[in-house]
Structure 1
Amino acid sequence: MKKTNLALLSLFGLGLCYPFTLYAQKNKTFQLLSPNSTIQLTVEAGKKMQWSVKHGSESIIEPSPLSLKLAGGEVLGDAAKITSSKTTKINQQINALNYKKDIVPDQYNQLVLNCKGGFGIIFRAYNDGVAYRFFTTRKDSLTIENEEAGFHFREDYQVYIPYVNDAHNNDVFETSFENNYQHIALSKVKKDTLSFAPILIELPNNKKAVITEADLEEYPGMFLQTSQQGYALQGKFAPYPLEEKKAGHNNLQAYVMKRANYIAKTAGSRSFPWRTVIISATDTELLNNDMVYKLASPSRIKDPSWIKPGKVAWDWWNDWNVTNVNFQAGINTATYKYYIDFAARHKIENILLDEGWADSQDIMKIVPEINLQEIVDYGKSKNVGVWLWGGWLPLDQKMDLALSTYSKIGIKGFKIDFMDRDDQKMVNFFYRFAQKAAEHKIMLDYHGAYKPTGLQRTYPNVLNFEGVRGLENVKWSNTDFPLYDCTIPFIRMIAGPMDYTPGAMINANKGSFRAINSSPMSQGTRCHQLAMYVIFESPFEMLCDNPTNYMREEESTRFITSIPTTFDQTVALDGKVSEYCAIARKKKDTWYVGTMTNWTPRDILLDLSFLGAGNFEAEIFKDGVNADRNGIDYKREVIKVSSKDKLKIHMAGGGGWAARIYQAK
């Protein structure tokens, strides 16, 4: 190690908090420690720029290349001439909005390398991971031909990896970003198949690493593919779309017919997305990670007071299949007024009109069966907001008119669907629509979307994202949902909120489940569904089933609607990837706790020390004694608890447990 590096580490050891600069023309190796000194990031600037990461004495990332290739052949990062380096220590906090906690600690050490040629790289070491990003300081615009983002590993580790297996139009970069996880060795990952982040790697001594990205703006998203040599993953990026045609579901999509030989055209002076590796010593740590939120750009909405997260009564999943009414149920005014009555009765903040309320090709043509103003006014009289579904292409074609018109009518938000891409042009749509919607005080739920990368912090009117294989899939699929449900909190949820749409009131065990479109059921127990409202992060959270079923199950419905969608504090209690998870969240003076298991029946011991001082009552929903035969079976009870208690919880196969814990009177 060079003497300058020893001096750098010594300064960290002294806890000095001021920035300093090292002129490093001769020094081509740099090291950065996390604030707790557990993580060590090393950068080597030679013929290739490479970075590596250790957690304690164990290798997380072996030396891996990073570079940006520009049109014309210039490669930023290869044979880089470092002109200066600057290291700083940051210890601050973020006041979060519409998140799983109100205060996010933001502590890291940062290394900035400035390079000859108007570019540089920023590296950060947190106590729970690392990140890096390129930046450029050039006057003219840039064409990025490709990016080299390597993640090399020492051994043939097991990974949880979701393949792109539903490519549209024979274009591997057009996908719904939904799939189950393959749990396989790196060497067994298909060489010719793309996967989408986040991806989890299992390391020695139960450590885990999750690869994803943050602050994606004016740039394509990162897919991952195995390298032809060694145990490695490398970033792949969608080329820029040059020609598109209207196609797909009801012609709501734009299929790419021709792509460019570059991935982005962009400003010459800018910061590029963060490449990040989240590192955990235990599985449980992954259940409460803030890395993507911390790396995102701060809010661009000056006054967010109009942004109101909450729940929504949803129509599409249950196929408008209400009964015991005196009108023909369907996409019509009477049905939605009925949904409003249901929402008002249970203090659900919103209803959603999904596909069918407007012409599929013209978002401004409302079907004759719908009197939208009457529905909105009726909702307003009942203190229930109205959201609208829309395909992204019709909304993009008439963005200003649609937002202006429907905001004046009184619409609270849009659920936008079928983007199914993350090339630069589509990423630009996400930001452009978020900004325009904010100008009209419209909230957004990006369905048919790539995973979140922090847009929800930058534009907090964006409440939710799909990019997850949600409950809608039970309408046509027999795959293992309890397994998936106990996997995504450790991987996909790290990226941000999930539009999973839980709340099924017909619950089946493994043997009795059937995929049915009009009267769908869930895999697993009722309490498995209830727990999702605590475990899954979702500021805009749907009740997927129909009002008839909810009113038949008033006890469960009251519990669901009592759970907030954003929280002041989150505590990860217990868990193991793909097996089970347990999370506690607090809002004001009330705690909400959820646990779920895969198809394996499970007993866990729940430590209530997070409650703190005082005496509490817990309203508990637990799997009934016959839940293994009939998933609907559950038991509700109210018990006295304190922070000294450890509750023994039994979950049936595909089961769950949920509780609301409040101060005893």
Structure 2
Amino acid sequence: MKKLLILGVLLFGFISNAQNVLSPSKNILLTFSLEANGKPTYMVFYKDKPVVTRSNLGLVLKDGTDFTSSFTLENTVSNTFDETWQPVLGEQSSIKNHYNELKVELIQSTSKKKLNIIFKVYDEGIAFRYEFPKQPNLNYFIITDEKTEFNLTGNHKTFWIPGDFSSNEYIYEETLLSEIDTDKVNRNNGIAFQNIKERFRIQSPVQMKTSEGLYINIFEAAVVNYPVMHLDVDVSKYKFTSILAPNPLGDKAYLQAPAVTPWRTIMVSNDARDIVSSKMILNLNEPSKLDDTSWIKPMKYVGVWWEMHVGKSTWDYAGSQNAQTQNNNELVASGKHGATTENTKRYIDFAAKHGFDGVLVEGWNVGWEDWFGNWKEDVFDFTTPYPDFDLKAVNDYAKSKGIKMIMHHETSASVANYERHFDRAMNLMKQYGYSAVKTGYVGKIIPRGEYHDGQTMVNHFNYVVKRMADNKLMVNSHESSRPTGYHRTYPNYIAAEAARGTEFSAWSIGNPPMHETILPFTRLLGGPMDYTPGIFEIKMSAYDKTKKEQVHTTLAKQLALYVTMYSPLQMAADLPENYEKHLDAFQFIKDVPVDWQESKYLEAEPGDYLTVARKDKNSEKWFLGAITDENERNTEIKLDFLSPNKKYKAIIYQDGADADWQNNPKSYVIKTIQVTNKSKIKLHLAKGGGTAISFEPIN
């Protein structure tokens, strides 16, 4: 620590107004300073290593105010905060929130306007945000640019996706920072509406690893009334600069003082497990605004969904954009519609038989025939079912079986249309006892010219969560901007997609085996993901012999994902008939909880492997998931997370000796052994494989 402080003094000794903040563990140092021209800058150190070298801070307003220089320091306020709070649903039953804080209050000599910068330094990283205090000469204002910089120390290995303001459903690239280049990204990746405009622009979060083995993650938290942050890359200087999604006028954000921006975050550790297990993003959000959360429940569900992706059925009733009509302009049934009353009852029966909580039905409502790709505004009304879907009969049947129905609202990205119908749609949900909704935003946004990641859409996504909370309804958003911990503030935001999910494996080049080892270091830092695991029929040739698409995992890895990919809303995504063929393996999906008392990240390396153990919130059972990338892996796991002086029955679901994600993905073995907290288990993970284990105390 002494070396660290000496280094800080040497670097900043000749700069006036330098301010230092240490993390509670004293391993991380944040230094803020004003340069001679009044330019605000910061640096970050981990132990004796610089992580972010001197980097500029600031914003530009549309009225000409340049909040990047000419500042003087008016005041500083330091604070220490330490609390433990309990999430409604989560990986842990309690979360520690401990940081040291510095608030610097600045005034600009040229404009006489004030700007505050607030820094929080945690043991796992630092966070900062801009604050605009209420003041006579700053009321309503427009952000045109944010100039936050992240100057890195070297050519780090980087996991990134292209900077597309309209989609985050990309495969992760693994390159050196200097090799970031969106021109080299495979555009034939299944994304229908791509919007990559800059060659050297990527999305946050971005995960990095230095040649010295330091793990660095740049992200943001509490994105409220502000656009999502992307990053422009200077590949020669190893520098990121924030860039915000604009609206059709080119403006970034409309604010009124007092106001704050989201937190910009930098996590750093020499242990990858510290990054993936961090709750810093969640802690940076406001506490829950809901007084009553008793209605927010974890759910495991099945649904009429995957059968459309594999081509067994369709979302639409009539089958084509040029669907024939008959009397009174009624659609003619194609015979392939999936969301029928009888088919839905089949899923309800399956859910009830196997102890699931809910059933999702997509394609139940009129409008699916001709909207995709046509940029239509009035597509769905969210209340009118197709002729072969009896809302009352379906919901009466579900209720008789003890099953909750999950509503589906595909907005066709016509946000104005959804908001016009929103109250009627929620009333319908309440009328029939729906507890949750899956929203979708496929396509280019209407109002036209807006992006998924712009301020308008961020506000819309948050508005939906708030209004659903008013009606005691839970939300699972798809094709939304990626979460940044907002589910702490509104815990009914139970899950989101907001990344490349399992569906891409049915009809595109799919997700490579390393994909699921990267998502916990990136997308999942902001909130639980509805990844829709549990695919047992791996190869799509099972449905059509001409198809070459497949899920890029083994069956055993699909089981392990229920532990490694956290979500309190988990889908058993495959078809009931495919589970009936493998009921022994399906048992793990039935047994695994989705809400946890404790989580232990035992092994972690982005792009390579992940091993997680979690304890059920409501029992003494533990569950373990281990996954690998395209390389087979042998490892030995200590079971010291188990309670002492207890014996456990361990049921191990593992890859078969001949398993391989490409050549033999459905080869698996199930065995049962007795273990204690002093035991060790040797695991063999096949290429693209995994292992899932349940630990049940023996009375």
The TM-score normalised by the length of structure 1 is: 0.88
Q: 1:391 aligns with which of 375, 388, 410?
A: 410
Native 8 Å contact 1:513 1:521 kept in 2: no
Q: Report the alpha carbon displacement of residue 516 of structure 1 after superposing the two structures with TM.
A: 8.4
Q: What is the CA deviation profile of residues 280-303 of structure 1, one whole-angstrom value per residue up to 9, with x for unaligned ones?
A: 212222231111111111111110
Alignment CA distance shift 1:62-1:433 (3 Å): same
Matched positions, count: 612
Query: How many angstroms apart in 1 are the aligned matches of 2:211 and 2:180?
Result: 19
Structure 1 counterpart SS, 2:71: coil
Q: Report the alpha carbon displacement of residue 643 of structure 1 after superposing the two structures with TM.
A: 0.9
Matches within 5 A, 1:224-623: 224-227=231-234, 230-240=237-247, 259-319=248-308, 321=312, 330-360=338-368, 361=379, 362-392=381-411, 393=414, 394-418=417-441, 421-479=452-510, 481-507=512-538, 521-587=550-616, 588-613=619-644, 614-623=646-655
Structure 1 residue ranges without an equivalent (≥5): 10-25, 165-171, 241-258
In structure 2, give the amino acid aligned to 1:662: E
Say if 2:98 is the partner of 1:124: no
Native 8 Å contact 1:358 1:367 kept in 2: yes
Q: 515-524 vs 209-218, which deviates more?
A: 515-524
Structure 1 counterpart SS, 2:487: helix
CA RMSD of aligned residues (A): 2.4
Structure 1 counterpart SS, 2:488: helix
Structure 2 counterpart SS, 1:156: coil
Query: How many angstroms apart in 1 are the aligned matches of 2:542 and 2:262?
Result: 42
Say if 2:664 is the partner of 1:656: no
Query: How many angstroms apart in 2 are the aligned matches of 1:480 and 1:516?
Result: 21
Native 8 Å contact 1:310 1:564 kept in 2: no
Query: How many angstroms apart in 1 are the aligned matches of 2:690 and 2:178?
Result: 35
Structure 2 counterpart SS, 1:498: coil
Q: Report the alpha carbon displacement of residue 514 of structure 1 after superposing the two structures with TM.
A: 10
Say if 2:134 is the partner of 1:138: yes
Q: Report the alpha carbon displacement of residue 397 of structure 1 after superposing the two structures with TM.
A: 2.6
Q: Report the alpha carbon displacement of residue 515 of structure 1 after superposing the two structures with TM.
A: 9.5
The TM-score normalised by the length of structure 2 is: 0.84
Query: How many angstroms apart in 2 are the aligned matches of 1:210 and 1:231?
Result: 14
In structure 1, give the amino acid aligned to 2:465: A
Native 8 Å contact 2:150 2:241 kept in 1: yes
Query: How many angstroms apart in 1 are the aligned matches of 2:253 and 2:604?
Result: 40
Matches within 5 A, 1:87-102: 87-102=78-93
Percent sequence identity is: 28
Alignment CA distance shift 1:225-1:113 (3 Å): same
Q: 458-467 vs 223-232, which deviates more?
A: 223-232
Query: How many angstroms apart in 2 are the aligned matches of 1:301 and 1:518?
Result: 48
Q: Report the alpha carbon displacement of residue 359 of structure 1 after superposing the two structures with TM.
A: 2.7
Q: 26-35 vs 64-73, which deviates more?
A: 26-35
Query: How many angstroms apart in 1 are the aligned matches of 2:560 and 2:691?
Result: 6
- Structure with the larger strand share: 1
In structure 2, give the amino acid aligned to 1:144: I
In structure 2, give the amino acid aligned to 1:127: D
Q: Report the alpha carbon displacement of residue 405 of structure 1 after superposing the two structures with TM.
A: 2.5
Q: What is the CA deviation profile of residues 239-287 of structure 1, one whole-angstrom value per residue up to 9, with x for unaligned ones?
A: 12xxxxxxxxxxxxxxxxxx11320111211221000011121222223
Q: Report the alpha carbon displacement of residue 446 of structure 1 after superposing the two structures with TM.
A: 0.7
Query: How many angstroms apart in 1 are the aligned matches of 2:32 and 2:592?
Result: 46
In structure 2, give the amino acid aligned to 1:371: D
Say if 2:667 is the partner of 1:633: yes
Query: How many angstroms apart in 1 are the aligned matches of 2:493 and 2:384?
Result: 25
Native 8 Å contact 1:579 1:598 kept in 2: yes
Native 8 Å contact 2:128 2:264 kept in 1: yes
Native 8 Å contact 1:593 1:658 kept in 2: yes
Alignment CA distance shift 1:501-1:534 (3 Å): same
Q: What is the CA deviation profile of residues 604-625 of structure 1, one whole-angstrom value per residue up to 9, with x for unaligned ones?
A: 0111111131211111111112
In structure 1, give the amino acid aligned to 2:152: F
Q: 212-221 vs 540-549, which deviates more?
A: 540-549
Alignment CA distance shift 1:513-1:386 (3 Å): closer
Native 8 Å contact 2:179 2:235 kept in 1: no
Alignment CA distance shift 1:517-1:445 (3 Å): farther
Q: Which residue of 2 aligns with 1:647?
A: 681
Q: 2:25 aligns with which of 29, 36, 41?
A: 36
Q: Report the alpha carbon displacement of residue 472 of structure 1 after superposing the two structures with TM.
A: 0.4
Alignment CA distance shift 1:273-1:328 (3 Å): closer
In structure 1, give the amino acid aligned to 2:212: N
Q: Which residue of 2 aligns with 1:247?
A: none
Q: Which residue of 1 aligns with 2:332?
A: none
Query: How many angstroms apart in 1 are the aligned matches of 2:65 and 2:338?
Result: 59
Native 8 Å contact 2:180 2:235 kept in 1: no
Query: How many angstroms apart in 2 are the aligned matches of 1:517 and 1:569?
Result: 45
Structure 2 counterpart SS, 1:335: helix
Say if 2:236 is the partner of 1:205: no
Matches within 5 A, 1:82-231: 82-116=73-107, 117-138=113-134, 140-164=139-163, 172-174=164-166, 176-190=167-181, 192-227=199-234, 230-231=237-238
Q: Report the alpha carbon displacement of residue 227 of structure 1 after superposing the two structures with TM.
A: 2.7
Alignment CA distance shift 1:463-1:480 (3 Å): closer
Structure 1 counterpart SS, 2:218: strand
Query: How many angstroms apart in 2 are the aligned matches of 1:280 and 1:560?
Result: 33
Query: How many angstroms apart in 1 are the aligned matches of 2:567 and 2:258?
Result: 35
Native 8 Å contact 2:101 2:120 kept in 1: yes
Q: Report the alpha carbon displacement of residue 221 of structure 1 after superposing the two structures with TM.
A: 0.4
Query: How many angstroms apart in 1 are the aligned matches of 2:238 and 2:665?
Result: 42
Q: Report the alpha carbon displacement of residue 138 of structure 1 after superposing the two structures with TM.
A: 2.2
Q: What is the CA deviation profile of residues 64-95 of structure 1, one whole-angstrom value per residue up to 9, with x for unaligned ones?
A: 11112112111334222221101111121121
Q: Which residue of 1 aligns with 2:317?
A: none
Query: How many angstroms apart in 1 are the aligned matches of 2:467 and 2:525?
Result: 27
Q: What is the CA deviation profile of residues 511-549 of structure 1, one whole-angstrom value per residue up to 9, with x for unaligned ones?
A: x99998999742221110000001101111111101111
Native 8 Å contact 1:513 1:522 kept in 2: no
Q: 399-408 vs 649-658, which deviates more?
A: 399-408
Query: How many angstroms apart in 1 are the aligned matches of 2:345 and 2:213?
Result: 52
Query: How many angstroms apart in 2 are the aligned matches of 1:262 and 1:328?
Result: 45
Query: How many angstroms apart in 2 are the aligned matches of 1:489 and 1:517?
Result: 34
Query: How many angstroms apart in 2 are the aligned matches of 1:353 and 1:38?
Result: 50
Alignment CA distance shift 1:561-1:493 (3 Å): same
Say if 2:96 is the partner of 1:62: no
In structure 2, give the amino acid aligned to 1:218: N
Query: How many angstroms apart in 2 are the aligned matches of 1:571 and 1:513?
Result: 37
Query: How many angstroms apart in 1 are the aligned matches of 2:175 and 2:272?
Result: 18
Query: How many angstroms apart in 1 are the aligned matches of 2:361 and 2:510?
Result: 28
